[in-house]
Amino acid sequence: MVIEPLSEGYYYHIYNRGINGENIFNREENYRYFLHQYQYYLSDAVDTYCYILLKNHFHLLVFVKENIEVERKDGKGFIRLDASKQFSHFFNSYAQAFNKMYKRTGGLFESPFHRKQIKEDIYFTRLVYYIHTNAQKHGFVQDFREWNHSSYKTVISDYETFLKREELLKWFNGKGEFEKFHLSDQSFS
């Protein structure tokens, strides 16, 4: 199977799960560390619109930035970032820390990670709903708004965030319409 690299200038649904459906998050600190490492490795390469982290899988809605160059760590020039490689570095970093914490070995995530290019506005809109309501869909909570490891609460808050909150709320014509859309009965997945 040939996996296409992430193309600059496009939106993507990125998702993955633990090998054999195993948990990739066991404690609260795992969720925090995942987001910390995600920002460290990917904030220069992608804009993030929303996410959900569940016990054995996650979903992200991202935009791959164009022509991203960052200064080399040795200070000798610049290096062009490749979003696909940045995701790989991120997954490896998280898996190594997770393995060390839980005294396990081997891969943690399915490989390659899944990605779908978003080519239609309706898919973008539906994906935001799908991501935010995924914990309810899988029975982790009765009401998706109760799940603490989703970007939903951050989007409707005023707290500082790495998310492209203003752009996302503008897409839905404001916070009120964003919340109303999430509370409507969406019959798609």
Please, what is the average pLDDT of the chain?
91
Residue 3 pLDDT grade (very low, low, confident, very high; cuts 50, 70, 90): confident
- Say which CATH number the domain at 34 has: 3.30.70.1290
d(CA 128, CA 182): 9
Is 176 a member of any domain?
Answer: yes
- More confident: 122 or 188: 122
Residue 40, pLDDT score: 95
Mean pLDDT calculated for residue range 122-145? 94
Mean pLDDT calculated for residue range 88-97? 95
Is 121 a member of any domain?
Answer: yes
Taking the model in full, what pTM does it have?
0.91
The residue segments making up the domain with residue 167 are 11-183
Task: Give me the number of domains the chain comprises.
Answer: 1
Model confidence pLDDT, tens digit, residues 24-62: 999 999 999 999 999 999 999 999 999 999 999 999 999
